[in-house]
């Protein structure tokens, strides 16, 4: 699994404080220029692992985040889709582990060729620590083929 620091994602650093100030976590931000419009895909989550995120919360963040991005991109020719991670989200960037501390995840460990489930205890640039069957286990990102939230 690849680790890409979140601050290396274009405009993530400028948008993250706004989303955090509203009580949410910016998980992912993709800006895709197309012929006549700039397509923006953003993913947000609740700070509290047990809280749910609905349409009203997504709409509130969308209304605040879109003008910020339009100013940063210097265009109002945008289309923005803002979603929650969902319960079946694949973790695409190893940097996301730190955002979801306390959540239950499954990682496909290349060393044992099987899924291992556990609660995220912490993460850094090289590995994630999971509580697995009452024990802390560290998984280096290069040992993880894929990861997803537990249902």
pLDDT tens profile 35-48 = 999 999 999 998 87
Residues linked to residue 147 through DSSP beta bridges, in sequence order:
107
Rounded Cα distance, 141 and 150, in Å: 18
The reported pLDDT for the residue numbered 89 is 80
Does residue 91 sit in helix, strand or coil?
Answer: coil
The reported pLDDT for the residue numbered 53 is 85
pLDDT tens profile 39-93 = 999 999 988 766 778 899 999 999 999 999 999 999 999 999 999 887 778 898 9
Rounded Cα distance, 98 and 125, in Å: 9
């Amino acid at each position: 699994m690849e680790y890409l620091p979140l601050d290396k994602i274009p405009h993530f650093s400028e948008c993250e404080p706004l989303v955090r100030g509203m009580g949410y976590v910016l998980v992912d931000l993709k800006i895709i220029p197309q012929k006549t419009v700039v397509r923006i895909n953003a993913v947000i989550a609740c700070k509290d692992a047990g809280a749910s995120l609905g349409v009203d919360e997504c709409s509130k963040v969308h209304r605040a985040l879109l003008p910020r991005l339009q100013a940063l991109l210097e265009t109002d020719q945008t289309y923005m889709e803002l979603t929650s991670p969902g319960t079946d989200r694949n973790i695409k960037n190893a940097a996301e582990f730190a955002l979801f501390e306390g959540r239950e995840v499954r990682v496909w460990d290349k060393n044992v060729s099987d899924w291992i489930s556990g609660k995220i205890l912490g993460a850094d640039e090289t590995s994630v620590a999971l509580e697995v069957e009452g024990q802390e286990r560290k998984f280096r990102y290069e040992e993880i083929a894929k990861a997803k939230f537990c249902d």
